[in-house]
Amino acid sequence: MKYRRVLLKLSGEALMGDRGFGIDPAVVAGIAQQISEIVRTGIQMAIVVGGGNIFRGVKAAAGGMDRATADYIGMIATIMNAITLQDGLEQIGVPTRVQTAIAMQQVAEPYIRRRAIRHLEKNRVVIFGGGSGNPFFTTDTTAALRAAEIDAEVIFKATQVDGIYDCDPKLNPNAHLYQHLTYSHVLTHNLRVMDGTAIALCRENNIPIVVFNLSVRGNIARAVQGETVGTIVGGQA
């Protein structure tokens, strides 16, 4: 076993499948099954989920909505996704807790670092909803922040492509897939796999990031077991 405690970053879009909006229960069930296979081996897993399948604050702000207001709405969307994923996991017998940075005590625990770590130690999956609780910060930054707080050894960033390329592989079939990059390279070349604040936080705390394709069945397990999957940012080459 390569890792003891990991953080998985899921986009909200990962939950909607081919629907274009909202949540596809079959996709949620598939992701839950993959997570189940990992945690049953004793690996501790925390998850940060985005909300772009329901509401994207940056896009709403560009359309004229107040940015802080738009971001708060987006944070609430992440809580909806977190509860949905919790249900998918518990349907197959995986103990799961949702902790939110925005108080919503009727449906989730408040985020408390020491309690989150205790849940992980008891082999419960912990899903962090509500972003960081602050506008103007992405859920990528939340993932980096929570990973540092809970002493996660690595962040797994689930995407719809095989890793980080030098250009868009959908537009250029000859795009080069990187296997390993430094934090500085990602920042200097503005490779938008995660926002700059998240990358800088990971660099400061020496947390490697593995970027991989979620749509390939079994990729989560292969990445967690230390197989070469996708692109590694930071860590060892």
| pLDDT the model gives residue 224 | 84
Sorted by sequence, the CB contacts under 8 Å of residue 237 that are 6+ apart come out as 180
Q: Quickly state the pLDDT bin for 90 (edges 50, 70, 90).
A: very high
Size of the chain, expressed as the number of residues it contains: 237
Which string of DSSP letters, residue by residue, matches the chain? ---SEEEEEE-GGGGTTTSSSS--HHHHHHHHHHHHHHHTTT-EEEEEE--TTT--HHHHHHTTS-HHHHHHHHHHHHHHHHHHHHHHHHHTT--EEEEESS--TTTSEEP-HHHHHHHHHTT-EEEEESTTSSTT--HHHHHHHHHHHTT-S-EEEEESSSS-BSS-TTT-TTPPBPSEE-HHHHHHTT-TTS-HHHHHHHHHHT--EEEEETTSTTHHHHHHTT---SEEESS--
138 is in an annotated binding site: yes
**Residue 1 clears pLDDT 60, i.e. is over it:** no
Delineate the domains of the chain, giving CATH numbers in brackets.
Answer: 5-233 (3.40.1160.10)
64 is in an annotated binding site: no
3 is in an annotated binding site: no
215 or 43, greater pLDDT: 43
**Residue 133 clears pLDDT 60, i.e. is over it:** yes
160 is in an annotated binding site: yes
Among the listed ranges 88-92, 94-98, 211-215, which one has the minimum average pLDDT value? 211-215
173 is in an annotated binding site: no
197 is in an annotated binding site: no
195 is in an annotated binding site: no
Taking each helix axis from N to C end, the angle separating 25-39 and 67-91, rounded to the nearest 10 degrees, works out to: 70
56 is in an annotated binding site: yes
135 is in an annotated binding site: yes
71 is in an annotated binding site: yes
Q: What is the pLDDT of residues 2-33, one digit of tens each?
A: 899 999 999 999 998 888 889 999 999 999 99
| pLDDT the model gives residue 237 | 44
162 is in an annotated binding site: no
CA–CA separation, 53 and 12 (whole Å): 5
Q: What is the pLDDT of residues 165-208, one digit of tens each?
A: 988 888 888 888 999 999 999 999 888 788 999 999 999 999 99
**Residue 94 clears pLDDT 80, i.e. is over it:** yes
139 is in an annotated binding site: yes
